[in-house]
Amino acid sequence: SLVLGPSTHSPGARPVAMVSRPPLFATVVVDVDLRTHVGTLRLNRPNKSNALDPQMWVDIPAALQWLDNNTDVRCVVLCGAGKNFCAGIDVSSPEVLGEQLGQQTHSVDCAGRKAESMFRHVRRLQDAFTAVEKCRAPVICAMQGACFGGGVDLAVACDIRVCADDTKFCVKEVDLAIVADIGTLQRLPLLVGHGIALEWALTARVVDAEEALAAGLVTKVVPSQELLAVATELAQNIAQKSPLATQGTKTAALHSRDHSVEDGLVFVAHLNSARLQSADLDEAMAAKFGNRKPTYAKL
């Protein structure tokens, strides 16, 4: 997506292509490093431990969509400002909680209508985090401090998770008398196994970084002060590879997660029937035999 520079505001002038600046969001900050092709999405309510308020449910998918459309971005780091990654849904007041749970008034006192509007509300929140999967660039989640409830929903929607050694995970929802409905019960079992996920979800107990690593929820645990550097380095590593290959890998793996092996094989064969014609293969070979680093064109 392009923005027009000030010099092109006069009528009849031809638009000049410029590097697009990320939009300003109320609750998150988006940044793009043009040199490394790494995009960053930072949750930005640190004084509230990045608790998810109504505006964040709007900003997070909007930011991901912007990053997805930005062909300068080949890998995304999703992180949270401050001491805590995300403490879950903002329950600071009964009014906010009610809005967060999709409670709204209807003209009649009707359980059916309440259920319909709550269903649509939950789907909207789910879509906000499924936007991580719809973003074709791989998304690395970097966590520290508290990753509770909705924070886990967000983390498990990402492609890779790394965390600081002080991170505490908690599938908190049952303690609020809620069934976790924004993706944890759908995605966490595929990361840590059904049995472990169920134990965490039914007990709502706190899981530390070491246990999360052993279970497969995260692939790396580092000292707090190294978290962003390690996550960024991982993102840069991935962003240096062919974007068609890394993004096709994300697409194919996500498809396979939800399909039989046979259907997955057919899917990736169709995907690669086009991608194997890509110039990136020639560049990879040329770089290898030329003993240099490959440079891939933008998508």
Q: Which residues sit at the interface with a copy of itself, rule CB under 8 A? A: 138, 159-161, 187, 190-193, 216-219, 234, 237-238, 241-242, 244-246, 248-250, 252-253, 256-257, 260-262, 264-266, 268-278, 280-281, 283-285, 294, 296
Work out how close the CB of 122 gets to a copy of itself at its nearest, in angstroms, rounded to a whole number.
23
Of 69, 238, 60, which is closest to residue 153 (Cα–Cα)? 60
Residue that has been written with the tokens 């009610």 in this structure: 98
Query: Nearer Cβ to a copy of itself, position 95 or 262?
Result: 262
- What is the sign, positive or negative, of the torsion defined by CA atoms of 210, 211, 217, 219? positive
**Known active-site residue 173:** yes
Phi, psi of 54 (to 5 degrees): -55, -35
Active-site residue identified among 59, 153, 159, 280? 153
**Is 89 annotated as catalytic?**
yes
Q: How far is residue 165's CA from residue 187's CA, in Å, rounded to a whole number?
A: 23
* Residue 80 a catalytic site member: no
- Cα–Cα distance for residue pair 109/255, rounded to 1 Å: 42
Report residue 25 as tokens: 């969001």
To the nearest whole angstrom, how small is the minimum distance from the Cβ of residue 124 to a copy of itself?
A: 25
- How far is residue 296's CA from residue 283's CA, in Å, rounded to a whole number? 7
181 is catalytic: yes
Do 167 and 208 form a contact (C-beta atoms < 8 A)? yes
Q: Looking at 72, 90, 159, 173, which residue is catalytic?
A: 173
User: Closer to a copy of itself at the Cβ: 63 or 217?
Assistant: 217
Catalytic annotation on 238? no
Nearer to a copy of itself, 101 or 245 (CB): 245
If the CB atoms of residues 99 and 199 are measured against a copy of itself, the closer one turns out to be 199
Task: Give catalytic residue positions.
Answer: 89, 150, 153, 173, 181
